[in-house]
Amino acid sequence: MCGIVGIIGNKPIAEDLVEALRRLEYRGYDSAGVATVEDGKLVRRRAEGKLRNLEKRLLSDPLQGHIGIGHTRWATHGRPTEVNAHPHMSATVSVVHNGIIENFRALKEELTACGHVFESDTDTEAIVHLITDEMQKGASPTKAVEHALSKLQGAFALGIIFSGDEDMMIAARKGSPLAIGHGKDEMYLGSDAIALAPFTPEITYLEEGDWAVLRRSGVEIFDVESKPVKRQAIRSVASSLMVDKGNHRHFMAKEIHEQPEVISHTLANYIDMSKAKVVLPDLGVDLVTLPRVTISACGTAYYAGLVAKYWLEQIARVPVEIDIASEFRYREAPMPPGGLAVFISQSGETADTLAALRYCKAKGQKIASVVNVRTSTIARESDSVLLTLAGPEIGVASTKAFTCQLAALACLAIGIGRARGTISREQEIAYVEALLEVPRLISALLAEDGQFNDIAQHLSQARDVLYLGRGVSFPLAMEGALKLKEISYIHAEGYAAGELKHGPIALIDENVPVIVVAPEDELFPKTISNMQEVAARGGQIIMISDADPVAAGCEQAIHISVPKVNPLASPLLYAIPVQLLAYQTAVSRGTDVDQPRNLAKSVTVE
Ligand code: M6R
């Protein structure tokens, strides 16, 4: 994680570095810093906490350099203190780093033995001393970096500047994304194109193992063997406008309310409206004989994948294997020839998901990704891409990206089902119509968001909360629990309703709210039985349902009413109350909803 930027400009660039960092704060916000070269010397400003602290620091103590690097941190090695904040530097070299240097302990021991003094607990500082050491032995800055890179194990995106040189910055990429921006007599560096959008739309993405020397006049790029290479410059579509909260108090609220619109856009990408027909990109596999779909993702994206497992098995009758990416990549799961591997990711940069993708590619699987960022590494390394059109998601808690993932995955299941002949044309039309109804039903639900206030107020006092669901509602229960814990810091767990009596029921007493995701589908009677088991033990039931709890014999339940919907589409609709409950509970508790503690939006380390 962490975001890095660099600018070689023609005026003092500290303010522009901060502007670029603001657009990368989604990658971490434990501390921030910038370094420039002034009168030939390296100078830096750093601050603990959010970027606004660095801004204050720069106001009272400005920097004048025309070349500089910047960093926003998500702590991996060392506490989020100023001393551990990037840039790290010696008198000769200053470095910003995204990633993890796995062999930093060995390097630190070696360098300390040679007289280098470390001031921080970070892995990054080893890079500074490594380059400094090479230069002290007489290497030029470029040779010193080249030698240092060959000694680094792990993942990194680096921005490096040197004292005495106001026209050279070195960038390097291994395992972490890095984009170079081309300006007029100016050059830029950033973890993504969004960071560079205010300055230039002309972007070159470094490829795995590349390193580059940037000067005002242009860039020279070298591959992993340090051979000069050409990498194409593209025109980025990232918006230069900073996304704002509109009339909402938080990005998360705005993003929840954007769902009717962005789900419509995503559905329109895969549905031919005039024919009520799903149109998929070429997935590169024979769908009729497709032996298996393997799904891998992390966090909320994984829960979208779990819903897709139900859909793909029920609608397309294709076996589905699914696992969280951090486990999957080490399991050495056998892969059938002709199989399709699907990776789901909002950012398209999640390190574990990317590693799982590369594992499946090496095993001969065709790779499809469901991503929200067209230019992301996962998208670029996939054979086919199902883009979600959620737009930039800024709140750390994923909301609109999740429902757009569900929309794309529902279309995937329907499209594969049609190709395999497991659903008829009439069923396809019925499914498509059900999906197209979702944006309107979500709007209706959002218009009634006042119904969540009292319940959220009540939830905000709880220490533990359980979420239950069956079938496609089981992943929704887990998503509800994840959403609540990540932004309100209340302990929450999601369970399959039928699993309750095998252990978790021991937790139930009058202080534990139990939120049941209970659409009136064919599993509803069984879910009701599980609710009765909770009620019999004094648990407080909050029933999210299109059915009347009294008619269902569960009169003691607090009811969150949801419009009726075709069961296929219920996960998209039931995601909304689950998100609103978490959001309003967090607001009641006064937490930092958009940037909850310890988290980052894009998790680019293992
Ligand atoms: O960018 P990705 O979709 O790959 O991110 C995966 C998870 O890190 C992400 O969904 C995370 O769990 C969210 N904070 C959940 O709200």
Q: What is the pLDDT of residues 194-245, one digit of tens each?
A: 899 899 999 999 988 999 999 999 999 999 999 999 999 988 766 665 567 7
Of 217 and 603, the one with more pLDDT? 217
**16 pLDDT tier (thresholds 50, 70, 90):** very high
**28 pLDDT tier (thresholds 50, 70, 90):** confident
**536 pLDDT tier (thresholds 50, 70, 90):** confident
- Whole-number Å distance, alpha carbon 601 to ligand 1 midpoint, is 7
The HSE-up count of residue 91 (CA atoms within 13 Å, CB side) is 4
Residue 423 has pLDDT above 70, yes or no: yes
How many other CB atoms are there within 10 angstroms of residue 313's CB atom?
A: 14
Q: How far apart are CA 159 and CA 45, in angstroms?
A: 16
25: left (phi over 0), alpha (psi -120 to 50) or beta: alpha
DSSP state of 553: T
**Lowest model confidence (mean pLDDT) among 129-133, 284-288, 365-369, 550-554:** 550-554
What does the radius of gyration of the chain's CA atoms come to, in whole angstroms? 26
Ligand 1, atom 14: closest residue by C-alpha: 397
Give the pLDDT score at 137.
Answer: 96
Residue 513 has pLDDT above 90, yes or no: yes
Hey, what are 24's tokens?
């990368």
Q: How far apart are CA 374 and CA 372, in angstroms?
A: 6
Atom of ligand 1 nearest to the CA of 298: 6
- Whole-number Å distance, alpha carbon 602 to ligand 1 midpoint, is 7
The residue-averaged pLDDT of 17-37 equals 92
Q: What is the CATH number of domain 251-447?
A: 3.40.50.10490
Contacts of 558 (CB under 8 A, 6+ apart): 455, 540, 541, 542, 543
The residue-averaged pLDDT of 416-428 equals 97
DSSP state of 148: H
Atom of ligand 1 nearest to the CA of 350: 4
- Whole-number Å distance, alpha carbon 591 to ligand 1 midpoint, is 19
**450 pLDDT tier (thresholds 50, 70, 90):** confident
Q: How far apart are CA 369 and CA 372, in angstroms?
A: 10
CB 358 within 8 A of CB 381: yes
Ligand 1, atom 11: closest residue by C-alpha: 299
Give the pLDDT score at 240.
Answer: 61
Q: How far apart are CA 488 and CA 601, in angstroms?
A: 16
Ligand 1, atom 16: closest residue by C-alpha: 397
Catalytic residue among 2, 404, 411, 554: 2
**Which CATH number is 450-589's, of 3.40.50.300, 3.40.50.10490, 3.40.640.10, 3.30.390.10?**
3.40.50.10490
Which residues is 202 bridged to in the sheet?
A: 235
Long-range contact pairs involving 144-148 (C-beta distance under 8 Å, separation at least 24): 144/93, 145/170, 145/172, 145/211, 146/211, 146/222, 146/226
What are the φ and ψ backbone dihedral angles of 229, each rounded to 5 degrees?
-135, 160
Atom of ligand 1 nearest to the CA of 483: 16
CB 28 within 8 A of CB 48: no
Give the pLDDT score at 241.
Answer: 57
Q: How far apart are CA 415 and CA 521, in angstroms?
A: 23
Which residues is 513 bridged to in the sheet?
A: 540
Give the pLDDT score at 243.
Answer: 66
Atom of ligand 1 nearest to the CA of 398: 16
CATH fold of the domain at 3-243: Glutamine Phosphoribosylpyrophosphate, subunit 1, domain 1 (3.60.20)
Q: How far apart are CA 204 and CA 236, in angstroms?
A: 9
Atom of ligand 1 nearest to the CA of 397: 16
Ligand 1, atom 12: closest residue by C-alpha: 299
**Which ranges in the chain are annotated with CATH 3.60.20.10?**
3-243
- Whole-number Å distance, alpha carbon 187 to ligand 1 midpoint, is 31
Which residue, 308, 561, 581, 550, is CA-closest to 467?
Answer: 581
**Lowest model confidence (mean pLDDT) among 4-13, 233-242, 269-278, 437-446:** 233-242
- Whole-number Å distance, alpha carbon 21 to ligand 1 midpoint, is 20
- Whole-number Å distance, alpha carbon 345 to ligand 1 midpoint, is 7
Question: Mind listing the pLDDT tens digit for each residue in 372-407?
Answer: 998 899 999 999 999 999 988 999 999 999 999 999
Active-site residue 601, yes or no?
yes
- Of 26, 194, 298, 303, the one to substitute when testing ligand 1's pocket (max ligand atoms within 8 A of C-beta) is 298
The residue-averaged pLDDT of 329-333 equals 87
Give the pLDDT score at 601.
Answer: 81
- Of 306, 350, 486, 487, the one to substitute when testing ligand 1's pocket (max ligand atoms within 8 A of C-beta) is 350
**Which ranges in the chain are annotated with CATH 3.40.50.10490?**
251-447, 450-589
Atom of ligand 1 nearest to the CA of 396: 14
Catalytic residue among 254, 400, 483, 601: 601
Instruction: Report percent pLDDT > 70 for the chain.
Output: 98
The residue-averaged pLDDT of 9-27 equals 93
**261 pLDDT tier (thresholds 50, 70, 90):** confident
Give the pLDDT score at 605.
Answer: 74
Ligand 1, atom 7: closest residue by C-alpha: 299
Give the pLDDT score at 7.
Answer: 98
The residue-averaged pLDDT of 534-542 equals 89
Q: How far apart are CA 408 and CA 104, in angstroms?
A: 41
Ligand 1, atom 4: closest residue by C-alpha: 345
Give the pLDDT score at 239.
Answer: 63
Instruction: Report percent pLDDT > 90 for the chain.
Output: 80
Give the pLDDT score at 357.
Answer: 97
- Of 26, 255, 295, 300, the one to substitute when testing ligand 1's pocket (max ligand atoms within 8 A of C-beta) is 300
Give the pLDDT score at 464.
Answer: 94
Residue 606 has pLDDT above 80, yes or no: no
Give the pLDDT score at 238.
Answer: 67
**557 pLDDT tier (thresholds 50, 70, 90):** very high
Residue 489 has pLDDT above 80, yes or no: yes
Give the pLDDT score at 247.
Answer: 77
Give the pLDDT score at 100.
Answer: 84
- Of 306, 349, 398, the one to substitute when testing ligand 1's pocket (max ligand atoms within 8 A of C-beta) is 398
Give the pLDDT score at 26.
Answer: 80
- Whole-number Å distance, alpha carbon 479 to ligand 1 midpoint, is 11
Atom of ligand 1 nearest to the CA of 601: 14
* Pocket around ligand 1 at a 6 A CB cut-off: 298-301, 345-347, 350, 353, 396-398, 482, 486, 602-603
- Whole-number Å distance, alpha carbon 484 to ligand 1 midpoint, is 14
